[in-house]
Amino acid sequence: MKRPAKKAAKKGGLPVIDPYLPNNGNFGYRVSRYELELEYKVAINRLTGAATITAATLASLKTFTLDLSDALAVTKVTVNGRRPANFSSSNGKLHIALAAPLPAGAAMSIQVRYGGSPRPIRSHWGEVGFEELSNGALVAGQPNGAASWFPCDDHPSAKASYRIQIGTDSPYRAVANGELVSRRVRAAHTVWTYEQPEPTSTYLVTLQIGMYGANKMPKAQVPMQAVLPDRLRTNFAHDFGRQPQMMKLFTKLFGPYPLSNGYTVVVTDDDLDIPLEAQGMSIFGANHCDGKRSSERLIAHELAHQWFGNSVTVRRWRDIWLHEGFACYAEWLWSENSGGQSADHWARHYHSKLAHSPQNFLLADPGPRDMFDDRVYKRGALTLHVLRKTIGDAKFFALLQDWTNRYKHSTVVTDDFKGLAANYAEESLRSLWDAWLYSTEVPKL
């Protein structure tokens, strides 16, 4: 099958950063840091915030935009300490017009004060972003939910460091990405401050608030902690008990754990349809902590995302198989190395399922509605398994470690992986890529 011709990424005649999410991302600047000072009242779902955004202009700039949900009202904006000529919010964008243009390469310190009752953003994939729980809140940002709780340049290619300060009622624990650097208790109010130094995509920034306790996991090669309701501790000890072994295996196969602040697992008091990844963190529902280890493959999947997706992140959503195919294959590798079925068994099992499923998308460009389809996950994992069989275990795992090291904390496209893989193959891999990435038909194993 011929590869589809590339179409210009435009919407209504205007250029867009990613046609999968044409309303997301912004032109004219690049953010290097976000500093958020937030206050959240659980009982009334009220968020107030002040965001300081450090950026640099990429061209002469008179007007620019930030992504921000219409549910949050902006009360004040300054740029480099000065009020802009005007600002307004509409259709998920904060529009800012400067009193005088800034030249290319100029530093910008953007301060935004805002507040409101946050709610998820509706998308092709359901509601994403800030969500109320029965007694707390969570943020599930993938792929375009960051704007539901702070002003940002919401696209995976725009990575930055973060400082997140969140104040809430004292019975609640507030958890965000990075290291907890400060916890101030004032009567019935507690302020938690987290520092995330590694470059992080906006959708991987999260906030978790609940009646949670925290405990460190023993015998872990990388510092690991669990944040969860007390009632789930016994189940957690069993269900997540092999997580340190997972970490040991994945650091052996994929290379060093990419973050300096360790790994946190949050289990909410509510059930969740699916677990979700964040930078240095994974979030599971109470239903994933049932005392039967029924979600262990998902535990492995979310941990693997710290390498594939969170550290090495796609530049555009069409290449999502570089996240989900790799994390899915990590499930098979964990099974293979922990007394379960081999990766080859799982490859044959899911190949049979894919062969009897609709074959109507390209793995390298599945389209926005199908980018989280389970076929993307399984076909992506199968592609890696076929590559492993083609070049052999030694070269395959050397390739994965080269990949995670070379592109650590940066963004990639499929051609980057193909180019790197070519260095580990004695013969051309073109027929493999054509069959698995650029053909709708599921190839034979």
pLDDT in tens, 261-314: 999 999 999 999 999 999 999 999 999 999 999 999 999 999 999 999 999 999
Predicted pLDDT of residue 12: 54
**Residues 367, 354: Cα–Cα separation, whole Å:** 18
pLDDT on residue 29: 98
Nearest to 205 by CA among 269, 254, 141: 141
* Residue 13: pLDDT over 60: no
- pLDDT score, position 76: 98
Domain 213-306 class? alpha beta
Residue 116: other Cβ atoms inside 10 A: 17
Asked if residue 18 lies in contact with residue 25, where contact means CB atoms within 8 angstroms, the answer is yes
Domain ranges of the chain: 15-210, 213-306, 313-436
Q: Which two tokens stand for residue 195?
A: 């520092």
Angstrom distances, CA of residue 215 to CA of 193, 235, 401: 18, 14, 31
Specify the pLDDT at position 187.
Answer: 85
Instruction: Tell me: pLDDT of 48 over 50.
Output: yes
Q: Does domain 313-436 have CATH number 1.10.390.10?
A: yes
Under 8 Å CB-to-CB from 269, ≥6 apart: which residues?
133, 134, 135, 136, 210, 211, 229, 232, 286
Look at residue 68 and tell me whether its pLDDT is greater than 50.
Answer: yes
Question: Is the separation of the CB atoms in 280 and 178 below 8 Å?
Answer: yes
Digit-coded pLDDT (tens) for 110-129: 999 999 999 999 998 999 99
Write out pLDDT tens, residues 349-367. Answer: 999 999 999 999 999 999 9
Beta bridge partners of 54: 33, 109
Mean predicted confidence (pLDDT) in 401-412: 98
pTM of the model: 0.96
- Fold of domain 15-210: Immunoglobulin-like (2.60.40)
Q: What is the pLDDT of residues 168-202, one digit of tens each?
A: 999 999 999 999 999 999 889 999 999 999 999 99
**In whole numbers, what is the pLDDT of the chain averaged over residues?**
96
